[in-house]
Amino acid sequence: MKDWKLFVPDTMPDPILTAGEGFATLTLPEERMAGFWEKDFTGLAGEAVKIHVETDADPALNNRVGAVMTLITADGQNTATLYLEPSVGQDGKLVFDIVHERMDAVTCQLSLYAKWFVGSVTFHNVTVEDAPAIPVRKARIVTTRIWPPVPSTCEKNIQIMKEMLERISAEVEHPDLVLFSEGITDRFDPRPLKERSEPADGPTFRMYSEWAKKNHCYVATTIHEIADDRVFNTAILVGRNGEMVGKYRKNHLTWGESRMGLTPGGDFPVFELDFGKVGIQTCWDCWFPESARALRLNGAEVILLPIAGDGITLHRDHVWAARALENGVYMVTSTTFASHDGVSPSRIYAPSGEIIAQMAEPGRYAWADITLPFHDWCPHLSVGPSRAEPRNIYIRERNVEADHRLTKF
């Protein structure tokens, strides 16, 4: 790998470098060491830049091995610094890729690094090339608020949701996804839990499926799902053709749900829709930051939050936005019960944490158009005179080993 240079912080001894045609190996004899193998690639002229780096690193090394690009304009300004996204190649080793708009840069500085472990890593098959413009993905997201009658029945509530969907199809041009709040189907139904639970493909799904297929729109909510003689608080996501795209079983159950006899889920799936990757967390999950972070680590670009209600006004107004900001995702909330201030807003947040749509009146909806990928550039966010994105940098600069210690408590 010609024209590359090794950078080593002056507080550390030099790692062992072995470089040849098309490869470079960094060996760290001590855990405190780090090495950065760098090169400037000049003459960028495309709409975007595409970078690919292969390694022999085990995925367990996680953020201790990686690649960072800095885009530099003709006048020497660092316009953006981004970590390349990691994935696991067919050989089971870490691979790093990125395709990003060029942002008027003419030079890409690429830094391949190994830090804070004992061992070695080889970088190879490194390419930096011009690429065509990145396709923009758009979607129209609708959130709702419904307050069923008290008491009510599952049948009545399904009819109320159906009428809301019919209004949306008549009043909103080409909606792409509609979200209802947590447990609307059996809200205020006084029967025992098992009697008001349903299979995942039960009456709620069938009503959604018919409307979704007719209107070519995704729909999501949660139900009390009965399966294998157990009851779950399950979010269902219905596809544009009326199919079951997937389901998510609520992981963090309240004390009341535990005493009701609900069973928790065990993972945080992300569903690849035609406009982007969508994850779901349900109500109480939002009080645990690990939930949203797990979805982001699994690739989510949008997080749906069907929620019965957030009793703490400050939590509602600050934490919902924080979940969007700290993970760089759109956050879509749909509520039923009011907070302590008497307000029950259903909201759509941009990845910047800003509210882009909201309403609080029962029987209404709000919508917003979202654009992916979303870029929220922040100057001096870890990267000095350059700019970084929270979605990117908050993930790749985690101390994974320290985070794993949370599981020991």
| Domains: count for the chain | 2
The residue among 99, 127, 114, 98 whose CA lies nearest residue 35 is 114
**Confidence (pLDDT) at 3:** 85
Q: Are residues 197 and 343 in the same domain?
A: yes
Please, where are the H alpha helices in 172-271? 203-215, 255-260
In sequence order, the β-bridge partners of residue 144 are 365
**Torsion from C-alpha of 89, 8, 81, 372, nearest 10 degrees:** 20
Mean pLDDT over 244-270 rounds to: 97
CB atoms within 10 A of CB 348: 25
The residues that bridge with 80 in the sheet, in sequence order, are 71
CATH number where 231 lies = 3.60.110.10
189 is a domain residue: yes
pLDDT category at 405 given cuts 50, 70, 90 is low
Q: What pLDDT is recorded for position 384?
A: 84
Residue 385 has pLDDT above 90, yes or no: no
Q: Is the pLDDT score of 404 beyond 80?
A: no
Task: Determine, yes or no, domain membership for 295.
Answer: yes
* 387-396 pLDDT tens trace: 999 899 999 9
Strand partners, 271: 278
Print the domain residue range for 143.
137-372
* Model confidence at 195: pLDDT above 50: yes
Kindly state whether residues 142 and 221 are assigned to the same domain. Answer: yes
Packing angle of the helix pair 203-215, 154-171 (nearest 10 deg)? 10
- CATH code for the domain in which residue 58 is found: 2.60.120.260
Q: Say whether both 361 and 396 belong to one domain.
A: no
Q: Does residue 17 belong to any structural domain of this protein?
A: yes
Q: Is the pLDDT of residue 409 over 50?
A: no
- Give the residue from 263, 348, 341, 264 showing the smallest Cα distance to 304: 348
In a domain, 12, yes or no: yes
Looking at the fold, whether 317 and 366 belong to one and the same domain comes out as yes
Task: Please say whether the beta carbons of 34 and 28 come within 8 A.
Answer: yes
- What is the SS3 assignment for 207? helix
Regarding whether 235 and 89 lie in a shared domain, the answer is no
**Residue 1: pLDDT band with limits 50, 70, 90:** confident
**For the residues 313-336, what does the mean pLDDT come to?**
96
Q: What is the pLDDT of residue 2?
A: 73
Cα gap 9→220, rounded to integer Å = 50
Within this chain, do residues 171 and 214 fall inside the same structural domain, yes or no? yes
Q: Does the structure show a pLDDT above 50 at 289?
A: yes
Answering whether pTM is above 0.75, one says yes
Whether 260 and 382 map to the same domain: the answer is: no
Distance (Å, rounded) from C-alpha 42 to C-alpha 74?
Answer: 10
Indicate whether 143 and 127 sit together in one domain: no
- CB-based contact 165:178 (threshold 8 Å): yes
Confirm whether 22 is domain-assigned.
yes
Residue 309 CB: number of other CB atoms within 10 A?
14
Are 44 and 117 found together in one domain? yes
Report the distance separating Cα 155 and Cα 185, nearest Å.
8
> Do 155 and 36 belong to one domain?
no
Asked if 48 and 179 sit in the same domain, the reply is: no
The SS3 assignment for 38 reads strand
Virtual CA dihedral for 236, 237, 243, 245, nearest 10 degrees? -110
Write down the pLDDT at residue 402. 79
Is the pLDDT at 408 greater than 90? The verdict is no
Distance CA 359, CA 364 (A): 7
> Is 28 a domain residue?
yes
**61 and 165 share a domain?**
no
Mean pLDDT of 304-329: 95
Question: Starting at the edge strand that comes first in sequence, how are the strands of the sheet with 16-20 ordered?
Answer: 16-20, 23-28, 119-131, 48-55, 94-101, 85-88
- Is the model's pLDDT at 27 over the cut of 50? yes
Phi and psi torsions of 183, nearest 5° = 60, 30
Q: How far is CA 66 from CA 36, 86, 252, 376, 381, in A?
A: 10, 8, 33, 22, 18
> Does some domain include residue 292?
yes
Strand order in the sheet with 277-280: 270-272, 277-280, 302-306, 330-334, 346-349, 355-359
Q: Tell me, what's the pLDDT at 407?
A: 54
* pLDDT mean across residues, the chain: 95
Q: Residues with Cβ < 8 Å from 267, sequence gap 6 or more?
A: 251
For residue 409, tell me if it sits in a domain.
no
Among 94-108, 284-298, 355-369, 374-388, whose mean pLDDT is lowest? Answer: 374-388
